[in-house]
Amino acid sequence: MNSHDNSELQAAAERAKEPEVPVQAAAGKQQPSTGSLGLLLRDFLVVLALVVVIFVFLYQPVRVEGTSMLPHLEDHDRLFINKFVYRFTAIQRGDVVVFHYPRDPEKSYIKRVIALPGDRLRIDRGDVIVNGRPINEPYVPEEYRDAKSMSEMTVPAESYFMMGDHRSISSDSREFGPVARDLIYGKAVFVYWPTRDAGTVN
């Protein structure tokens, strides 16, 4: 073996002693490429656009006018209503809904659903009795109750009996009768302004 071969072997031995650099560590030191940042920005914009589209088509901002839904909704509160929820779920007793006023469809009212189609309803000195049983109404504080009575009636098919939470001042189905289903166009979901009132509508 000549000296040239010895030098080659020595060089190979030196290379064998060099530590290997872990692949993951080397990759971790690389800076994100401009292309990767562009993809992230694109994905963010797509998601943002989808959120905006869903929000615009599903929800509508409305403003409360009047005090018939005190203490939960105040005059000039601004809230979002869900315009599509009742295409997939049934209207429930206790829901707070927005509907076209039966006597003037150009106006909108916001009230609470008290009785459903086919329910027997009467009011005895302020106590609401549905299908023979008084209903629990924790949303009506004692100071907002009244002592009015109403003879028993059966809510017509495809109609709903509405009442305001501030019973002593509310203009509702006790005055203008049950509200037809096709006049109801949204469920109150969330108060967003003023911030002191912000929260879900119950």
pLDDT digits (tens, 9 = 90+) for 157-191: 999 999 999 999 999 999 999 999 999 999 999 99
Catalytic, 3? Answer no
pLDDT confidence tier of residue 71, bands split at 50, 70 and 90: very high
Q: What integer pLDDT is reported at residue 31 of this predicted model?
A: 55
Given the residues 7, 111, 170, 173, the one annotated as active site: 111
Q: What is the pLDDT of residues 83-103, one digit of tens each?
A: 999 999 999 999 999 999 999
> SS3 of 101, please?
strand
Using CA of residue 199, residue 202, residue 95, residue 69, what is the dihedral sign? Answer: negative
Higher pLDDT, 58 or 55: 58
Catalytic, 111? Answer yes
- What percentage of the chain has pLDDT greater than the value 70? 82
Neighbours of 73 (CB within 10 A): 23
- What's this model's pTM, rounded to 2 decimal places? 0.74
pLDDT confidence tier of residue 42, bands split at 50, 70 and 90: confident
Higher pLDDT, 25 or 89: 89
Give the integer Cα–Cα distance in Å for 97 and 186: 6
Q: What integer pLDDT is reported at residue 185 of this predicted model?
A: 96
Average pLDDT on 140-146 reads 95
Tell me the average pLDDT of the chain. Answer: 86
Q: What is the CA radius of gyration of the chain?
A: 33
Q: What architecture does CATH give domain 61-200? A: Ribbon (2.10)
Contact, 95 vs 148, CB < 8 A? no
According to CATH, where is 2.10.109.10 located in the chain? 61-200
Given the residues 36, 68, 149, 187, the one annotated as active site: 68
Q: What integer pLDDT is reported at residue 52 of this predicted model?
A: 73
